[in-house]
Every structure is written in structure tokens, then in C-alpha cells.
Chains A and B, each alone.
Chain A
């Protein structure tokens, strides 16, 4: 296994391109779900110290909603879809309004239903992301049932440290942000997709992209 820090810029760019293709597909899926245009950032491949993960992504104490999936098969990885808690709430309101035709404020929606809606959105977004990557790489994959959590950003990102911490002090993440467009003034729904390739999968990825 090569040292993460020794990746050259061509390799990091290749990994970023994988993220780009995944993000495009995920944005399309989210747009279809919410009936709004989605603005997507160009993904970044980032080498982040595992000791500073939470600070890297924002306020460590911020409450976020997160959906996590594990993908096995040719390209093993984990994926997280993270939203500020308010954004996640607004998104659930929008989805339920589309489904039932009436607006129900998030405070009146039972938590089980909120989680179920969030899980479903996360699942669709992350599966679309993964499908595009696996088509590009020509690999087969299976995706786990998603897990959902609402908690401090710092606690949520402990999972990243537990993946990368055993082999070193750096995590390689592909990170991108999606924003829902055309909402009423003062409202915002954004979400971050973080791809965490298993350290062992990176070599395969670089080989398939012919930059190993």
C-alpha cells in the first residue's frame, strides 16, 4: 500500500475525476427527488490530518444529519452524506409536501419518519454516486443498508478516523457540496458527499485509471 502523502498531483486529479462523475449522477438524482435544480461544486480530493477532520469540515460542535453507507465489491469504500440539521429538516419538509400535498412543519413530523425520509434521500444520492464510479471502473458493487445519525460533526467524523487511523495519520477524502436552487429567500438546503475509499482500494482505482 502506497503512502497516501506520496500521491502525485496527476493521481489526485484522477481520483477527483472519479468524484466528479459520481457527483454529477448524485446531483441528477437529488434534483429528480426534490424537483429543483441542483448546483454542484467541483469535487476536491483532500489529504486531511485525521486529528483535524472536524475542524476541516466546519464547526466540530455543529449538529448535522448524516447518512452512511458501505460499498463492497471491486471498489470498496464508505460514503457519507452530511447536512446541517436545519437543512436536513427543510429537505424532509419539502419531500413530504411533494408526497402528501400538504405542508407539515418538521417539528410535527415523527422522528422515525424524518429519519426514514433522510435515509431514503441519502441512499438514492449515494447509490447514484457509486453507480457512476463503478461503471467508470468496470467493477461490480453491493451497497449496504444505510445508517443515519444526528449528532455533533466531530462525533460523526470519528468514523473517518477509525478507517484511516489504523494505517497512518492522513485520510484521503473526495469531498463535494450540493446545493438546492430555487428555494424561497432565506432558505437553504445543502449537503456534502464525502467519499472514503478503503486504503486498499486506492491502488485499484489508480490502476484502472492508468495513473498507477
Chain B
């Protein structure tokens, strides 16, 4: 059966049965979080923009913040037949696109905070993070295929890293 390709936009969150290819284009400081249960054959992805909702969560897209996206993604996985103990996670993204020597601005380091908060939420929920490609100063395009449960990470000038 051919894989359907689905491209997720900013703050999107989606869980679908295999076979499927989940894609996010041009992640900078944002995070692409993939979760899957290869036994139940279901996979999900979220395009996370910021670490903490600070009470904004309810009114906005649930995939926007790490603290709201991770629980929502796992809950959706369980609804679609996944078993918590079998769910595995992979993450990519969280780059710092611009470094300004001597300037302090919180938003410039949001990539690292996104990575830290996403990992923290996964840990709290007892979800195994099995691989990641994060940080640095380059954007990433990612593709997750349920044919081999691998996440392809394309970085400009560095080629493809499969995790």
C-alpha cells in the first residue's frame, strides 16, 4: 500500500494509522516531535513552536507549545490504539538561527528551550525518547516514514541524517 504524504504546518498536531509519511518543512527553532507505536501501526507528529503555554494553551492551537502538545499527542495516540509502554519518540529541530554576540534576548535561544521542555514532558509521561537531531544553527526539513519508522532529517549543506 502506498504511503500518503502529509505535511504539517506550524503548531499542527496529527496522529494517523500506517502507512503514512509525515513531513515538516523548514524547522528553525521549532521542534518536530514524532511518536509511534510500531506494533499498533500508528504514528503522530507535532510542530512545536514554543516551550510553555503560560495559560494561553486553551485558546490556541494545542500543538504550539511543548507543555500542551506532548500530552495531547500521547492522548491522541492512545485513542488511535497505541499502548503507552510501546510508544517511542524522536525529535528534531530547536536550532538557534541567529547568534548576536553580546546581545541578550530570550527569544534567540528559544530553540534550546523547546528541546529541553519537549524532552522534559516526554520524560514526565514516561515516553522513551530514542533518538534526536537538535540544536546547531541550521534549519531542518524532516520526513517520518512508517515503512521503516525512521526519521529523515535534511539540513542545508549537511545532507541527510536518518535517526
Chain A contacts to B: CB under 8 angstroms: 50-54, 60-61, 63, 66, 68-70, 72, 78, 144-159, 161-163, 165-166, 168-169
Which B100-119 residues have a C-beta within 8 angstroms of A? 100-103, 105, 107-108, 110
Residues of chain A lying within 8 A (CB to CB) of residue B54:
166
B97 and chain A: residue at smallest CB distance: A149
Chain B: which residue is nearest A161 at the CB level? B49
The CA of A53 and the CA of B11, in the complex, are separated in Å by 12
In the complex, the answer to whether B100 meets A146 with C-beta atoms within 8 Å is yes
Give min CB distance, A64 to chain B, whole Å.
11
Chain B interface residue count, Cβ-Cβ cutoff 8 angstroms: 34
Give the distance to chain A from B20, nearest Cβ to Cβ, in Å: 21
Is residue B129 within 8 Å, beta carbon to beta carbon, of the partner chain? no
B86-108 interface mask toward A, CB cutoff 8 Å, 1 = contact, 0 = none?
Answer: 00000000010111111101011
Q: Is the CB of A151 within 8 A of B139?
A: yes
Decide if B102 touches A144 in the complex (CB within 8 Å): yes
| A–B Cβ pairs within 8 angstroms, 25 of them | A51-B9, A52-B10, A60-B26, A70-B103, A70-B105, A144-B100, A144-B101, A145-B101, A145-B102, A148-B98, A151-B156, A152-B25, A152-B28, A152-B139, A155-B28, A155-B97, A155-B139, A156-B97, A156-B139, A158-B28, A158-B49, A158-B97, A159-B108, A165-B64, A168-B56
Please indicate the chain A residues that have their CB under 8 angstroms from the CB of B9 in the complex.
Answer: 51-52
A154 and chain B: residue at smallest CB distance: B26
Main secondary structure of the interface of B (DSSP, over half): loop
Task: Report if B27 contacts A (CB, 8 A).
Answer: yes
Q: Is the CB of A154 within 8 A of B100?
A: no
Cα of A150 to Cα of B120 in the assembled complex, Å: 31
Interface of chain B residues 9 through 51 with chain A (CB within 8 A): 9-11, 25-30, 49-50
Residues of chain B from 109 to 163 with CB closer than 8 A to chain A in the complex: 110, 137-141, 156
With A149-B137, A158-B27, A161-B10 known as contacts, the answer to whether A69 contacts B64 (CB < 8 A) is no
**A155/B95 in contact, CB under 8 A:** yes
Distance from A161 Cβ to chain B, minimum over Cβ atoms (Å): 5
A61 in complex: contacting residue of B50, B102, B141, CB < 8 Å: B141
Contact A165 B50 (CB under 8 A): yes
B50 touches A144 (CB 8 A): no
Extra pairs beyond A156-B97, A165-B50 (17, CB < 8 Å) = A61-B26, A78-B105, A144-B101, A144-B102, A145-B101, A151-B26, A151-B139, A151-B156, A152-B25, A152-B139, A153-B26, A154-B139, A158-B27, A159-B98, A161-B10, A161-B49, A162-B29
Q: Which residues of B contact A70 (CB under 8 A)?
A: 100, 103, 105, 108
Identity of the chain B residue whose Cβ is nearest the Cβ of A142 in the assembled complex:
B103
What separation, in Å, do the CA atoms of A145 and B110 have in the docked complex? 19
Chain B contacts of A148 at CB under 8 A?
98
Find out whether the CB atom of B60 lies under 8 angstroms from the CB atom of A68.
no
Q: How far is the CA of A69 from the CA of B27 in the complex (A)?
A: 21
| Given A145-B102, A147-B98, A161-B49, A155-B10 contact (CB < 8 Å) | no
Q: Which residue of A lies closest to B60 (CB)?
A: A169
